[in-house]
Chains A and B, each alone.
Chain A
């Protein structure tokens, strides 16, 4: 399997505060990579570095390289808007726009200019909602406000909104933390199916989720990547004592 993203000697700063230190890791194409670690260790920061969402925060600075399909996304000539079409993001709290279900999914294709005719747009919307396992629940009420959906549906709507622009990578920052167990399982199922087409990176606080839903796992601690391995190996035979202490502590 090939590497979709390669991170090399990557540092990241909020002003003077160094949030990420000397990261090196490879993210495999069409796999699910989970990032775990205690609160404040830099998981979200790292995730947001992968599609340069941190550019929107003033006073931040990145050093080192993040190569996406071999090209450094922090090179000066990179078009950030285009990059984010290729590397989409789903957030911790479902954040559908206060618009209709249809308009939420159509947002991306519209701003990107993907659909020239309205039936093309209809097609993309339907396809994306099917892809996010939401179509059957909403196909009769596409014009209803998205905020009327329950949180689990809202999160799947956000996933549909993300895949509507046909990205290659989907970043998810604790996508299930605001959801109940049933909704969580349905999002995990969905991730598994999406990984056939997309490369997925997910941040999670939930060890079971990382263990059952991911192929690779990285353990962060105070801005450093302590261990990175295939999920099975990392959970059954962690190499570093810190990793072992964390996963057993969190399991217990």
Chain B
């Protein structure tokens, strides 16, 4: 899920920095309010913790192994805003001090792994855990679900970031400049590996570590035990998802209008008009390989159409996708609640 330098064009990584800058300062301001003097050491230690979690290799059935990202675990233990700061710092240490690269892509990586992942995971966890007691099976299951959902949503976001590259950055002869795989390849590739393998590692580590800590540390106060009522969490979740879903086609339109096809600084009027022509043809070529109900983002009929029409389809796909996820979460929640009631009755 770690995007190295060179896969994202400046059209993507620069906006990512612009998005992350206020998020970072917001997150750290929030922590300042809640932690005051303890803020600095807590953030630093949490970052170091997030880094170390990534080093634990967990074996998977079939002889392979994987490691957890740990963002959801940090969010469950310390709260999602602490996770934003901690995981971002861990990624920065990795990119800068260890020379692992990903310096230009740092903000984009932070967006997927330090924002999307902890929040998606934490909201899922909150919704499913509800008011269950700290050491209940339901809470551990909710943590597992949080880990699974978090890492998968983050993978989806990563796939989307990679997948829009051929749409927004091509050289004058129409060849993709950065990651050459479109949405129809990048998104399923990321999704499948995470749905089938990585998600389970994340789920296992999140739930088992939480269980271990609740068992061995009775005084552990979970960040998630904050007094925020579930309905408010739900509303925020819905709002954030709606905003994201609405913003994504906007990004597509903007990219197509102003960025597409050339490196920056070389737009001219006739090229701009040509760009709009490029985009659909490139899109169509890629999508011709994959015509599943949604991942192509809209039926083929729309793909020869103008960017605006595509954007509309994109928005519809996003809304349907989000709706599907929400439905699954709600159904799970129902099931969990019923199970717990049964547990209590038994």
- A and B interact physically: no
Name A residues whose Cβ lies closer than 8 Å to a Cβ of B.
none
